[in-house]
Structure 1
């Protein structure tokens, strides 16, 4: 599901997280926990941006503790490829007010 103002290759405007975005975040939670070597008891999507490529890159701000946020870059392949979301990259040490930008 994409916001209406997505331009192929460009990032959409920042949008509030939807149930679909939370499902994507839930799907990559274990990938994130393995890479940072810790368990996250909170893993809540806050906002996101999308980039249409040969699939979709999602840039998602996720709350992982009371005052601790991470930015995730998640790739979702095209539907006919039958692949789940994949955690491409992440940034830790973010705050609720940090802008969600390309990385």
Structure 2
């Protein structure tokens, strides 16, 4: 296991039910940013970074050969816990590594 330093990104992990819930919650924001409606929106992998809240970098299968890398910031509960999409990269493959952008 690699040491994670404060503010550093975790290793890539398989997506959990919680990560899928985050994806479901921000799907509309992603569709707005990409000007595309997605029938499939399934989280595959993720990385996280604890800051004053949590940043998530999530690989999402959006149907066919469409894979997205999506950055989401989740505010602390004391700050409302809101989730905000801060970045979307299109044109990825299933094999592409999750790299912060």
Report the TM-score, using the length of structure 1 for normalisation: 0.91
Are 1:34 and 2:42 an aligned pair?
no
> 1:66 aligns to what?
64
> How many aligned residue pairs are there?
99
Displacement of 1:62 in angstroms is: 0.3
Query: 1:94 is matched with which residue?
Result: 92
User: Which structure 1 residue ranges, 5 or more long, are not aligned?
Assistant: none
Alignment pair present for 1:18 and 2:28: no
- Structure 1 segments of 4 or more deviating over 3 A? none
TM-score, length of structure 2 as denominator length? 0.93
Given that 2:67 and 2:90 are in contact with CA atoms closer than 8 Å, whether structure 1 keeps it comes out as yes
> RMSD over aligned Cα, in angstroms?
1.1
Q: What runs of 5+ residues in structure 2 fail to find an aligned partner?
A: none
Counterpart contact for 1:6–1:52, Cα < 8 Å: no
Deviation at 1:34, TM superposition (A): 1.0
